[in-house]
Amino acid sequence: MTRKSPLQLLFQEIDQVKDEDDLRSQIVPAIGEYFAATRSGIFFFDRLHLVDTKLQKAFKVALSIEHNPVARYLVERHAPVHEALVTKSPKVWTMICPRPDHWHVMAGPIVNRGQLVGVVGCTRDRSMFAFDTQNLADLSAICLHLSVWTATKVRSAKLSCRESPQQAFKSDRLTSRELQIAELVAMGRTNAEIGKEIWITENSVKQALKRMFRKLEVSSRAEMVAQLAATKYDLSSVKNNALLAEK
């Protein structure tokens, strides 16, 4: 049996992690060790709002395509890059990023559905060797596996939502009575008919719908029905009911 290379073992580790916490605690250190990096990290753009304000500002500067040619290269090409590819000399790079532990920088893209959704980054200090072509090739392979993992994670989250639709819809902050009203709306019932069925006035139904719209951040009965379709009902049957719901 052929012994797996360190890079192949890293691919296997990426495939086995379950969530972003595991990705950061297990894969980031492994990537740093593989590239003998001073620092390493994985950043997803939709998670940047969760970090503190100072770090948010730092990330905005670091990821600015106007300020940072490495970031611009990633955005334009979706390909790994190190600072020597986009700057004329180390002195130029130090003007962009003065940190001593970022003397050498390499970054690669995490892509999902044709969009850049995250970045893998490694840095080395001045006393270390610069990143080279082989490093870029290896990072490209790692980024491919991370992109596949990201796409699989998103798809799995959607499937999980579909597998437990009743729970998913209730998590949208509707009470059991509001959920009952929403189900009747999806069946094409008018406010008067809903009121009669659940023993409340027509005006109470109207007021309940207003509250439900605010909770679900929708502006019409049809939009609310669409949320039902995504979480509980067969889409083909709800489509016709959505038209009735606007009447």
Tokens of 105: 């920088």
CB 17, CB 26: distance < 8 Å: yes
The Cα-based distances of 193 to 10, 159, 177, 207 in angstroms read 60, 34, 15, 15
Q: How far apart are CA 130 and CA 82, in angstroms?
A: 9
DSSP string, 188-232: T--HHHHHHHHT--HHHHHHHHHHHHHHHT-SSHHHHHHHHHHHT
Domains of the chain and CATH, by start: 6-162 (3.30.450.40), 164-245 (1.10.10.10)
Please tell me the predicted confidence (pLDDT) of residue 62.
Answer: 57
How much is the pTM? 0.60
Residues β-bridged to residue 153: none
Please tell me the predicted confidence (pLDDT) of residue 119.
Answer: 92
> Judging by DSSP bridges, how do beta strands 39-44 and 81-82 pair with one another?
unpaired
Q: How far apart are CA 115 and CA 74, in angstroms?
A: 11
Please tell me the predicted confidence (pLDDT) of residue 151.
Answer: 85
The Cα-based distances of 106 to 37, 151, 234 in angstroms read 10, 23, 47
Distant-in-sequence, close-in-space partners of 104: CB < 8 Å, separation ≥ 6:
82, 83, 123, 124, 125, 128, 129, 130, 131
Q: How far apart are CA 75 and CA 224, in angstroms?
A: 36
Q: How far apart are CA 247 and CA 241, in angstroms?
A: 10
Q: How far apart are CA 184 and CA 198, in angstroms?
A: 10
Interaxial angle between packed helices 176-186 and 191-198, expressed in degrees from 0 to 180 and rounded to the nearest 10: 130
How would you write the pLDDT of the chain (247 residues) with one tens digit per residue?
Answer: 568 899 999 999 998 998 888 898 999 999 999 999 999 999 888 766 544 455 555 555 555 667 788 888 988 899 999 998 988 776 777 777 778 888 999 999 999 888 888 899 999 998 999 999 999 999 999 999 999 998 887 655 554 544 444 444 443 577 878 888 888 887 778 899 999 988 889 999 999 998 888 887 777 777 777 666 655 444 334 334 433 444 4
CB 154, CB 112: distance < 8 Å: yes
Distant-in-sequence, close-in-space partners of 225: CB < 8 Å, separation ≥ 6:
182, 185, 186, 238, 241, 242, 245
Please tell me the predicted confidence (pLDDT) of residue 97.
Answer: 78
Q: Name the DSSP class of 51.
A: S
